[in-house]
Amino acid sequence: MSVQPSRIDGHGVFAAEPIPARRKIGEMRGELISVAEARRRIKGRARIHMVEVSERRAIDATNSDGPLRYINHSCQPNAVLRIRQGRAEFYAIRDIEPGEELTADYGESHHEGRLRCACGASNCKGRL
């Protein structure tokens, strides 16, 4: 995986080699914090690198050097986020080609519908 400028937003993470469907891509790593602390930290931020992994815990990847903190949203993603035993893991939904940007559907996000979606998918919902 490599981090490069993204046409979707800021930086993105791109496949360095083919990734077969259903393969685990990796996990987002960062500081394990409370959900209350995560919600406090995101106030006023344009870019959010956090995932709630339970009702009480969240991962803050803001200062992580892991590339998956740069996975951008798409309304037609090629990866899915699965929360497993307090970890944020990404899996390929379909075969992913080298050079292709890795994307996931953020679903319900901390942006609460205020952020314009720039994924460019034909089925784009327009907002996050």
| Residue range 42-54, pLDDT digits in tens | 887 777 888 999 9
> Where is mean pLDDT largest: 8-12, 41-45, 107-111, 112-116?
8-12
Q: Is residue 97 assigned to a domain?
A: yes
Total of domains in the chain = 1
- Mean pLDDT taken over the chain: 90
Q: Is 126 left (phi over 0), alpha (psi -120 to 50) or beta?
A: left
- DSSP bridge pairs for 89: 27, 82
Quick: pLDDT tens for 92-107.
999 999 999 999 998 7
Read off the pTM.
Answer: 0.87
Q: How many CB atoms lie within 10 A of CB 38?
A: 20
Q: What is the CATH number of the domain that holds 66?
A: 2.170.270.10
Q: Is residue 70 assigned to a domain?
A: yes
Q: Is residue 21 assigned to a domain?
A: yes
Domain span at residue 24? 2-104
Q: Is residue 126 assigned to a domain?
A: no
